[in-house]
Structure formats: structure tokens, C-alpha cells
Structure 1
Amino acid sequence: MRAARFEGDPVLLDAIARRMAPLVPSDTEVLAGLEMGGIPVVTALGRHTGLPCAFVRKQAKPYGTCRLAEGADVEGRRVLVVEDVVTSGGQIVLSTADLRGLGAQVQEALCVIDREQGGADALAAQGIGLLSLLTAGDLRAAAA
């Protein structure tokens, strides 16, 4: 399943977010969606959790607000990073470092699909736990 397929289907995206909501740690104060795939996921998830959302760019804009994260303030708050698909975990590692630089407290990331290609290990090495709705193994089992 390509990520863009569920992200572009509002009914499916809503059902996914509903199933992800119980995975959100109870002390989470802000949901932070990563550009680009995490943005629709975090928006739908925010609707089901009632938590405010931040939208995290890969790089701060060089114009306008010049901010890395738009939306909810992350400074001093417990932030859950939200992504659509995790493969290597590289973007979550980079964005978490940026969020921590802004004063966010990040301990976990939540994704729709963990491709099980080392992302969880890369995140763990940075003190980030990975929570996932589905894994590649789940998808293979469902297709069988």
C-alpha cells in the first residue's frame, strides 16, 4: 500500500486515525506531524484525540515566519511525533532533534506503517520509542 493512497482518502484516513488514537501516550500535549506525509495523519489524529497539532517542516522557511514548526507551540511540552510510514527513521531522528532544539520533550514517535527496515532501532538509539498501527509483517499477513 502506498502511503499517498490512504492519505488522500478522507474516509480511510479517518478510520486509520480512529485506530491510532488509543496508541497516543496519555501524557502527550502536542501532536507534531512531519512534512509531508505526517501532516494529513496528524490532522486527522488531532480530530480524534482533541490534542493540538504542530506541523513540522524539513527545514525552516527562509521567508515569512521563518519557523520550523507551525501551529501549536512545542516549547516545554510533551510532543508526539507523527509520521505516515517509517523505513529508516532518518527524518524522524532529524526532526526530533530540531523539535528538541525548540524545547520540545519528545520520547516517542507514532506511525501508520513501520516497514521494519531498521527505523525502530535508529530511533531507539536517539531515545525515541516507535509506536505503530501496522507493520510490514501485518500487511504481508493480511495479503496472504
Structure 2
Amino acid sequence: MSDDRLGQDIDAVARLQGTFQLRSGQPSNEYFDKYRFESDPALLRRVAQRMLQLLPDGTEILAGLEFGGVPIATAMSLESGLPVVFVRKTAKEYGTCQAVEGADVRGRRTVLIEDVIATGGAVGAAAELVRAAGADVTGVICAIWRGEGSPGIVEAPALPVFPVLTRADLQSGLA
């Protein structure tokens, strides 16, 4: 399925103009609010469909990372019929006391799903949690790669990262 306007459409919804304080503490007159495209059903479906095209063969489980990966992984699950799990940043301290919630991942080929990756630190930590639950983590698919250079996770260099879009795609309106 071709979706040549996806980058342009996401940028139009998520790039805000105004006065913002960035995570770094620096002021900015522009802010990219990723939750704007994740909360738009039509855009979310388009992103999920594009991400499904990147799934490695044999994928058995989608693992949505807290917080932004959860709606995308859920949409991908609904489109594909693949089961989904939700990966917390840390195991909860009550109930099941698990970091990986949902389907059983033991021995299953699992792909991590994230919305936006800049450095991949959270993804590396999530990969360890999912592996500790017994999964065979085979890759990462993200909606947007905002990092420098080729997509990759420093903490998990052998883990392939497949982005739908890059920062340059959004800025140019491509993809």
C-alpha cells in the first residue's frame, strides 16, 4: 500500500507553533507533539499499516512500549490479528508484578513497537525486560526515527531498527 503523504500529514497534525519549553529546558517556538498523530484514528491506522509492512517474517508477538508504543501496537494487532503485549518501564509492584503484560512471550518471536526513537535508551531497556520474560526479540519497528545517522540502539547494537519515517521525511513532507 502506497501512502506518499504520511510524513506530510503527520507533520501537519503534530508540529505545533507557539511558546514551548523543551525537555532540555530550552525554549522553542515549535514543538512536535507525537500524541497528536497517535490519537487520530485515521493517521494511527495508516501508521500501523505501514509498520506492519516492516515486520520481520515469523513475527509472533507485538510488544508495545510504554507509553507511545501501546496505541500503535494495539492498532497493528487489530489490523493483523497478531497478539500484543504491553511493556512497562519497570515491573509493577502489585498484582502480577510483571513488566510485560498480556500474551505469553516465552519462546516467541517478538518485535518491539515504539512511536518515536531519538537515542533508543528506553528501547534497549525494554528489550532486556522482554528477553527476561523469555521472548526472542527479533527487531524494533518505530513510526519515526529522530536520531542521528542510521537507525540503531546503542545498548542493543545487534537489534535491527526499522522506521517508517525519519525526521528528514517529516521536515521535507516526504514518505
Q: TM class by shorter-chain length? A: over 0.9
Letter aligned with residue 44 of structure 2: L
Equivalent pair of 1:60/1:68 in contact (CA under 8 Å): yes
User: For 1:36-83, what per-residue CA distance to the aligned partner results, in whole angstroms no more than 9, with x for missing partners?
Assistant: 000000000111121100001000100111111111111110000000
- Do residues 120 (structure 1) and 144 (structure 2) align? no
The residue aligned with 1:42 is: 73
C-alpha separation in 2, matches of 1:40 and 1:63:
23
Query: CA RMSD of the aligned region, Å?
Result: 1.7
Q: 2:103 aligns with which of 72, 75, 82?
A: 72
User: Residue 26 of structure 1: CA displacement?
Assistant: 1.8
- Do residues 111 (structure 1) and 130 (structure 2) align? no
Question: What fraction of aligned residue pairs are identical, expressed as a percent?
Answer: 44
Equivalent pair of 1:88/1:118 in contact (CA under 8 Å): no
- Do residues 21 (structure 1) and 52 (structure 2) align? yes
SS in structure 2 at match of 1:64: coil
Equivalent pair of 2:124/2:155 in contact (CA under 8 Å): no
Equivalent pair of 1:89/1:118 in contact (CA under 8 Å): no
Structure 2 CA distance for partners of 1:41 and 1:117, relative to 1, 3 Å: same
* Higher helix content, 1 or 2: 1
The residue aligned with 2:41 is: 10
Structure 2 CA distance for partners of 1:16 and 1:121, relative to 1, 3 Å: closer
User: Residue 140 of structure 1: CA displacement?
Assistant: 1.5
TM-score, reference length from structure 1? 0.92
User: Residue 120 of structure 1: CA displacement?
Assistant: 2.7
SS in structure 1 at match of 2:151: helix
Equivalent pair of 2:89/2:126 in contact (CA under 8 Å): yes
SS in structure 1 at match of 2:59: coil
User: For 1:14-43, what per-residue CA distance to the aligned partner results, in whole angstroms no more than 9, with x for missing partners?
Assistant: 121112211111210000000000000000
Letter aligned with residue 76 of structure 2: L
Q: 2:172 aligns with which of 133, 141, 144?
A: 141
Letter aligned with residue 97 of structure 1: E
Equivalent pair of 2:89/2:99 in contact (CA under 8 Å): yes
Letter aligned with residue 48 of structure 1: E
TM-score, reference length from structure 2? 0.76
The residue aligned with 2:17 is: none
Equivalent pair of 1:89/1:122 in contact (CA under 8 Å): yes
- Computing the radius of gyration from Cα coordinates, the structure with the larger value is 2
C-alpha separation in 1, matches of 2:92 and 2:39:
25
User: Residue 126 of structure 1: CA displacement?
Assistant: 3.4
Letter aligned with residue 128 of structure 2: A
